[in-house]
Chains A and B, each alone.
Chain A
């Protein structure tokens, strides 16, 4: 069997960190695979899995719409491709988003994850924080959560599995082959979540 091809959406945000974390995850699992930056619909169509990194969701959404990537990502997710959305990436995957201060948002979203997101749910940058959290359901008991102007989930549909909460706020979810986190595993050096994502892709491949 040939190796897996995993893309990191490279429109805007912390792309390089996710490429490195995913590469290291593949290596630690002893698998074959390549990890690549993707920007165009053509590049996306070849993927077995996709990471949508942290950044600004309005920017990532607007620009993926412009060059047709958004449509291609939708097709791929609909056909079952596993996808991992981090912070802005989780917002992108959701059906609905509002901002804590500005209110309801009309921004381009992928419309898959059956949740309503509150953007900047913990406040502005000064309120960004690190804290130890856990995701027992997927076997990760201890994880350093790095929350940067992080969103949270205020409503989750019945097919959405809640993986983690911080002080009653939902911060990590899974729905089928879609994973979303409000925090940034790629900034921590802990590969367990990226490894979990790679194993989902491997199982599907």
Chain B
């Protein structure tokens, strides 16, 4: 069974209808979170074209994420980054059998509605695009399609879940080819989870209430998360993953899977790298297999990457206080 903490039940996104003689319900937390559970131990790859989506599917990607530009190009281009062209999303949906996700701007309710109408399988309310509303994320319970959101720490993750996110990913620092920030974020979440679990195990309700206040999230979500000792939804790593070893390392930190952005299609050996990262994510417990995967790539063909200390734009800070 999957945990349903924070579930609001019959919200606007839940649709009941009759199909033949059967009563059906769509958009429930079980279906949204369940979808994310089917992605576990998989690699979701950022793509911008049909060709890239097909390479991703053939390499064993569990889903593709359609963008107008890869995150590193978003950085270079500057300006306002918005959701991808619907025509390209549609073409990709018609050419691959794996799930297709797309990004909308933080807080941009109507971009998300358009993606839902387009019928993408999951919507990523993403800091890679320019936020439309820094103070309010989308109230995701109003949607039938599931959402994934980025988080740098437990508070952000739980606030997004409270808004209806069916899946969480670390923010990392997208488009840098540098995994360091993703590592920090997953470790932050893990440390905080251990802390609230120990408070829960000690039966200290008063302390758990102060945690809820500190994280700016309701007590029931904190309590259920603390009892589980993990996030109540599937949690992937994202941001700066470039090599098989990067992916395997994040899996050892307890992530349920990985998103790879610029790391694959900004490298000169995209096809081999895509396969290698899938292998390393699947067989992360076996160092010999990860070595074999790492052997499939050429470090001279990795994207150059950026030092995350001196960035003009820190995407991870977008929407983080809300």
Contact = CB atoms under 8 A, between A and B. Distances in A.
Contact of A126 (B30, B98, B145, B282): B145
B116 A12 contact: no
B41 A128 contact: no
A120 B19 CA distance: 17
Contacts of A130: 24-26, 28, 30-31
Contacts of B144: 126
Interface residues on A, range: 35 or more
Nearest to A107: B97
Contacts of B40: 12-16, 55
Most chain B CB atoms below 10 A, which of A17, A59, A133: A59
Interface stretch (A42-50, A62-70, A174-182, A197-205): A62-70
B42 A102 contact: no
B93 interface: yes
Interface in B95-148: 95-99, 116, 119-122, 144-146
A58 B57 contact: yes
A67 B285 CA distance: 14
Interface stretch (A25-33, A72-80, A184-192): A184-192
A160 B97 CA distance: 26
A125 B24 contact: no
Contacts of A96: none
Nearest to A184: B34
A181 to B, nearest CB: 14
A187 B41 contact: no
Nearest to A16: B40
Contacts of A132: 22-23
A119 B60 CA distance: 17
B283 interface: yes
Interface string B33-72: 0110111111000000000000001001111000000000
B97 A148 contact: no
A39 interface: yes
Contacts of A59: 42, 60-62, 98, 278
B251 interface: no
Contacts of A10: 41
A92 interface: no
A130 to B, nearest CB: 5
B278 A149 contact: no
Contacts of B21: 167
A159 interface: no
Contacts of A38: none
A105 interface: yes
Given A11-B41, A187-B34, A128 B26 contact: yes
A20 interface: yes
B99 A149 contact: yes
Considering residues B30, B34, B96, B145, which has the most beta carbons from chain A within 10 angstroms of its beta carbon? B34
Contacts of B27: 126
A54 B38 CA distance: 6
A138 to B, nearest CB: 20
A132 B18 CA distance: 12
Nearest to B2: A187
A189 B4 CA distance: 12
B279 interface: yes
A120 B37 CA distance: 17
Given A13-B42, A55-B38, A59-B42, 13 more contacts: A13-B40, A14-B40, A21-B1, A55-B41, A59-B278, A120-B97, A124-B99, A124-B121, A126-B144, A126-B145, A127-B26, A130-B25, A131-B22
8 closest A-B pairs by CB: A167-B20, A125-B121, A129-B24, A14-B37, A131-B24, A99-B97, A189-B1, A12-B41
28 contacts: A10-B41, A12-B41, A12-B282, A14-B37, A17-B1, A20-B1, A54-B38, A55-B42, A55-B62, A99-B97, A101-B94, A102-B94, A123-B119, A125-B31, A125-B99, A125-B121, A126-B26, A126-B119, A129-B26, A130-B24, A130-B25, A146-B30, A149-B35, A168-B20, A184-B34, A187-B2, A187-B30, A187-B34
Interface of A: 10-17, 20-21, 39, 54-56, 58-59, 62-63, 66-67, 87-88, 99, 101-102, 105, 119-120, 123-133, 146, 148-149, 166-168, 184, 186-189
Interface of B: 1-2, 19-28, 30-31, 34-35, 37-42, 57, 60-63, 93-99, 116, 119-122, 144-146, 278-279, 282-283, 289
